[in-house]
Structure 1
Amino acid sequence: MPYIKRNERGDLVAVSQEVLPGFIESTASDDSEVLAFSSSIAGQEHVELSRSDLDFVRVLDDVIELLMAKNVIQFTELPDASQAKMLMRRRLRDGLDNTLDILPADEKLFLK
């Protein structure tokens, strides 16, 4: 859990893994303010790499689905933690797909 230091205006000015003088507030490591602060220090290359990582997760997701569809690997061969993550992602993706269904699949739009 990181400890943060703020200036007089309340802006985040430093993050530490240890309690140090002036670091009186703790927060979650994935706090949006901490992530933004870290990105500003790391530079644009780090930010772009992180964005690329998120995009690449989708690629890996699709590759795993393809390998399973072609029976190269079985879902049950994946470690339990990986299975749980795949199922969660599948539910989330299915939920997104369903929000875009405007008409039922068997709906006839054009009648002759």
Structure 2
Amino acid sequence: MPFVRRDANGVIDAVFANAEGEANEELPHGHPELLQYLGIDAQSIIDADQWLRADLALARVTEDLLTILMDKGVISFTDLPAGAQEKLIARQGLRSEASYVASLFGNDDDNFL
């Protein structure tokens, strides 16, 4: 976490990676005063994060929808453009790896004691 130095009015006037001299107050990275000093609008970060989460969720829905349509024979994998095929193969590989790793740790119902 960064360390800040404050002026006589208690306003941040410098930020350091380590405690130095009068900069001995540690603040979390997302602290509103720190973001204000750095000129970062906290609301825009929240908005961007919400958009990113929505986009990721929609990507998952789209992937699932394509899988259903292919399973039902409505479309064929080869009907998709080459770029889309590559992206789907990459995502399916990542999902497979994530599923395998998750299986190594079991689930909450497993009793290891």
**TM-score, length basis structure 1:** 0.52
Taking only aligned residues, the RMSD between alpha carbons, in angstroms, comes to 2.8
Bigger Cα Rg: 2
Q: Are positions 1:45 and 2:78 aligned together?
A: no
Q: Report the counterpart of residue 94 of structure 1 in structure 2.
A: 96
Using the alignment, how far apart are the partners of 2:52 and 2:41 within structure 1? 9
- Taking every aligned residue pair, what percent have the same amino acid on both sides? 29
Cα distance, 1:74–1:42 mapped onto 2, change above 3 Å: same
Using the alignment, how far apart are the partners of 2:60 and 2:85 within structure 1? 16
Q: Report the counterpart of residue 4 of structure 1 in structure 2.
A: none
**TM-score, length basis structure 2:** 0.51
Cα distance, 1:48–1:77 mapped onto 2, change above 3 Å: same
Q: Report the counterpart of residue 54 of structure 1 in structure 2.
A: 56
- AA aligned to 1:62 is D
**Which of 58, 81, 84 is the aligned partner of 1:82?**
84
Runs of 4+ in 1 over 3 A off after TM superposition: 37-41, 43-46
Which runs of 5 or more structure 2 residues have no equivalent in the other structure? Answer: 1-13, 17-38, 105-113
Deviations, residues 11-50 of structure 1 (Å, cap 9, x unaligned): xxxxxxxxxxxxxxxxxxxxxxxxxx87746353343122
Using the alignment, how far apart are the partners of 1:67 and 1:61 within structure 2? 10
Cα distance, 1:39–1:96 mapped onto 2, change above 3 Å: farther
Cα distance, 1:72–1:96 mapped onto 2, change above 3 Å: same
Which runs of 5 or more structure 1 residues have no equivalent in the other structure? Answer: 1-7, 11-36, 103-112
Structure 1 position 75, deviation (Å): 0.2
Aligned residues: 71
